[in-house]
Structure 1
Amino acid sequence: MTCAGFLRLCESHPNLTPKKLIFTNAHDALKVARKSLLKLPKRDTVVEVVFPTHKRNANERFSLEYAEMGIRVDSVVFEHTADFDYYDIFSMKGTASSFSMQTILGTKLGDSFDELFPDITSLSINEPLKVTDLKLLPRKLRKLDCRVQLIRELTMLQLPQRLEDLSIAIGRASFEVPTVIISHLSRIRKLDLRTKDHNTCTKWSLPLGTRVLHVAHYDMIGSQKLFIVCPELIELKIHDHKGPFKDFVARALGIPKTLRRLQLPSDMLAFGPKSSRPELKLSYFKLLQISKLTELSFTSNIYDARRMALAFVPGNFNHLHTLSIVDVKNVVIFGDYPSGLRKLVYRKMNIPLPDLSGLQYLTEVELDSLKSIDEYTGCFSRSLRKLTISGCGFKKVNIDAPELDSLTLSSNNFTVLNEETFVIPSSVRVLDVHMNYISTVSVKFPDGLEELNLSFNRITTIGTLPKNLKVLNIARNNLGSSDQVTHFPTSLTRLDVSWNELTNSWLEKQNLAQYTTLSDLSIAHNKLPSLNLDLLPSSVVLLSLSFNETSSFIGTFKRFEKLQSLDLACNRLQGYFLSLGDSCVGEFFGSDIAVLDIYLSRLTSDDAEVLSEHLRKRSRFLDLDAGSDVLPNLEDLPVFRPKKAKTASYRR
């Protein structure tokens, strides 16, 4: 949600008490405080502020201003960079000065930081800390995300004793593998241990009370029996493993009976081409002794061509309700699925589409990029509510799922949707068939359909749509390329027809002006040199007209009385606001306008002066998005501070 949207929400709900507020722009926190619509601090509201690495001046201004506003900040985040990217660019030796707290915020760990944020309980730091820096961390911290420079020997980390949630990346600087000791942190419940790759792994001495454990590589914990060191473990995720796995998973890890959620790299169950069937049976039987698991998932990487064996033995996995296998190309699955399975996810696997008709409790299925087939017939139980089958090459489907609510059939090979090629349950309310090759749509959609996504196809016109349809996305098609007109339901509340070939004539025939409930409309990327605003519904609250090469408008924006956010970015509006100021009596926009985007719209300095003078008087106006060359003299007014230049792209 934008800051403007949140402030409007506060106006309409004065007793609003959100559980958590995350400000991705630090100055939005100041806007909220200035408006006094949310009295911060509130006892039950957690306030988090994110400081981007590229906004040092703005961040320093924030640190000077915010102390006077009386805002309690609970969480500080220095914009995160993935470990792999970070270390690939800057190495693990702590030379990444652009990521330092001093560079980003003008302060550093210690007394100055504690004075600036005296109530902080959560901190995410991007710079690589020295081991000695850990003593300077705020002692009240309960959650920490950080990196530590390379270590060479056995090291105990002097971290805050109140920590409950720790995500930390450390690498080693020697061939010998040192141990990192954090077993003294008795309050740790969630632990995420990271490193760049297998060659930088360290070993870890783990806290006894850990409930959730995520590790980058098996070798970081491989020599320990988890039922001894973490006897209350509930969730375990191992992201990668290098080299042959010579022992049974359950025995090697010493998995405690308390474990309920398990994620493993597929190569921990891999076998070579010379493995015999008896060896396979013994291997996967030992794994399945972890019989009280409720969630089980396997992941792989594109470079692993080994085969994986997974078997379901009667009597085991009686509690399993979620199974996920992702990016495992070569997998062999034996036995019947656990009868209590409720969620199944298969992605990028070289297997046929499975028969799931016997699973009576299944509620959600996602099948992505399995073996391709032209025609698919699937039967599911009444329990199924959400079904996704994408990237499987379908041209024709017949799906029987009596109570299905949401259906996604994206990235297939549909060209025609009619009564023969597209048979789906009448219960479907949300349908997504984006990214196909659809040019003709004549099928009768379910009467209760409320949301329909037809984007990224080749549609020029469409047959009758359900009269109660609320949301329609038909972006990136060929609407307007012919004289045929699609009549959308007047019940629509959200419509996206961006990236088509629309004209004023098409808009007039469509009769959008009569749509009284349409609040969110995008007509971006349509090349409309002149746009007749009288052809658009007066009910719009959010309106995007960006990237249309528009230089003039017929009519005025005043007719959109409910309009709050207007996107005019990347048009050709030089002289428009100057002319509007000369000819318009009164307001340019409706009384609710709060956000205006004129980025890269070629405004002149006279345009900028007229527009800024007009917007100064609007008490509800909150955010103007413009290039720094448009409003160079208005940086003293917070609402008009030009945002940093952005890549020209469609933003919604």
Structure 2
Amino acid sequence: MEVFFSLPTELQKHTLTFLEPSDLDYLFSLQNLQPLSETSNAEFLKIQHLALTAKYYDRQVILSNNAQLASISFSELDYLLEHNISICPAEITVAFFDFTNYQQTLAFTSFLFQRYLGVLQCFTRNFNIRLILVENVALENDFLKSIFQPLCMAHLNVRFTIKYAPGIKLNSPKRRGNELELGMAEFLSVNSEIAVESLLLHLFNSNNLLKHFVEDNGCFCCQGLRVLNLSYNHLTDMHLATVRFPDGLEQLNLSNNLLQNLTKHSFIYENLTSLRSLDLSNNNLMSLTLPVSNTHQSYKLKQVNLSGNLLASYEFLDESRLFQNVAELDLSRNLLEVLTPFPASVRVLDLTGNYFTFPTESLVKAFPPRLETLKVSGFISRTNDTSSTVLNLTTALLEGGLTPELKELYICGTLACDLL
């Protein structure tokens, strides 16, 4: 220890970062610094402050209205403020644990942001907000706004996740300590992190979810929302018709829902002029009828995923200005049989898992002139030779008008049962 105390301050600080927080607490009595206290030994106090800084260096710091979740307390934050100590955590996680007692959580949120947000921003730009709910009760917009609004700053990197944990009771006598600790770790897992510019909502049902996006209320504090993932929410056409998406949205994921027919009435999209990626995969889509009333409206949509649906044609691509600039198009695993021309803007095209028959006279005019990547599949009868079938399909494609722009060609065979 004498050698350590003889080191320069920077080396002491660096050395301490290799110790675990529990070791730092034990070796330097950091718990005795809480609440605010002084020690008569100025040199040791200096080392304690270095240890306190090292305790949180490049780590996840957790603030919470539940003591079992928190790794740093308000009293410790007060101490940092009092002594002008700056820590450098990798990120600050704020875990709001709520038993539908919104008033209590609102009070905690207000106190936290009003008193400490300024200094927390000086510590790090990375915030991870976790809202953990244990009752199946629809959220209130005002409640969510209280969490979103203070963090809507351009210089902050904020991730936001809503997690439901129905039935959890922290003080239940049936829960042993180690089980509770494991549960808390699961609540703070990083598997479903998203940004404040990006929102992932997997709620109990679509009615809870849509409460925050319906026309009457508008999207709660969504002016800066760029990425929205509403997959796996049992959304139907009727549900989707009530959603009003924020104008600045760039990525929208509606995959793995129950959508069947998208129209201008069931999908309010004309304001989405900044949208670049649209994922509609794994629904029950049979048609898309999406005309744009403003003929001068221009869209930036580049990526469209329609795989895993029930589409029998793709004429909608030419009928809507929404798809005028699509460059990457996935139509795999649909019910397509007839090959018709694709938009000239398409560069990457996936048609695997459909029912096209090759060769066909339409090959020459079907594929875009600047196509770079093509994925197709042909049906192989049990009585046919697989290699010759794939070879014939390859020959038909290469002789059928694929341009020199093509860089990648993927061809696979799909086994088909003989028709009786």
Q: TM range, normalised to the smaller chain?
A: 0.5 to 0.7
Counterpart Cα distance in 1 of 2:161 and 2:216: 20
The aligned residue for residue 132 of structure 2 is 370
Aligned ranges for residues 73-222 of structure 1 at < 5 Å?
A: none
> 1:299-348 deviations in whole A, cap 9, x for unaligned?
9xxxxxx8766323314164236465xxxxxxxxxxxxxxxxxxx33579
Distance 1:513 1:433, change over 3 A: closer
Q: Name the aligned partner's letter for residue 520 of structure 1.
A: E
- Report SS of the residue matched to 1:463: coil
The aligned residue for residue 39 of structure 1 is none
1:345 aligns with 2:93: yes
Aligned ranges for residues 504-515 of structure 1 at < 5 Å?
A: 504=313, 507-511=314-318, 515=323
Counterpart Cα distance in 1 of 2:72 and 2:408: 54
Q: Alignment RMSD, CA only?
A: 4.7
Counterpart Cα distance in 2 of 1:486 and 1:438: 18
The aligned residue for residue 479 of structure 1 is 285
1:436 aligns with 2:207: no
The aligned residue for residue 390 of structure 1 is 161
Q: Name the aligned partner's letter for residue 457 of structure 1.
A: N
Aligned pairs, number: 312
1:578 aligns with 2:359: no
Aligned ranges for residues 497-576 of structure 1 at < 5 Å?
A: 497-504=306-313, 507-511=314-318, 515-528=323-336, 530-534=337-341, 536-548=342-354, 550-552=356-358, 555-556=362-363, 559-568=367-376, 572=379, 575=389
- Report SS of the residue matched to 1:249: helix
Distance 1:307 1:539, change over 3 A: closer
Give the conservation status (yes or no) of the 8 Å contact 1:390–1:411: no
Distance 1:468 1:289, change over 3 A: closer
Shift of 1:452: 1.9
TM-score (norm 2): 0.57
Structure having the higher helix fraction is 2
- Report SS of the residue matched to 1:568: strand
Shift of 1:253: 7.6
Distance 1:592 1:405, change over 3 A: farther
Counterpart Cα distance in 1 of 2:374 and 2:310: 21
Indicate which of 4, 23, 27 corresponds to 1:252: 27
> 1:615-644 deviations in whole A, cap 9, x for unaligned?
xxxxxxxxxxxxxxxxxxxxxxxxxxxxxx
1:419 aligns with 2:200: no
Distance 1:280 1:426, change over 3 A: closer
- Report SS of the residue matched to 2:27: helix
TM-score (norm 1): 0.39
Distance 1:298 1:600, change over 3 A: farther
Aligned ranges for residues 567-606 of structure 1 at < 5 Å?
A: 567-568=375-376, 572=379, 575=389, 578=392, 581=395, 586=399, 588-601=401-414
Q: Identify unmatched segments of 5+ residues in structure 2.
A: 40-44, 63-67, 100-104, 166-194, 293-297, 381-385
Using the TM superposition, name which of 371-380 and 492-501 deviates more. Answer: 371-380
Aligned ranges for residues 30-49 of structure 1 at < 5 Å?
A: none
Counterpart Cα distance in 1 of 2:333 and 2:16: 46
Distance 1:470 1:298, change over 3 A: closer
Higher relative contact order (CA 8 A, sep 6+): 2
Counterpart Cα distance in 2 of 1:254 and 1:228: 20
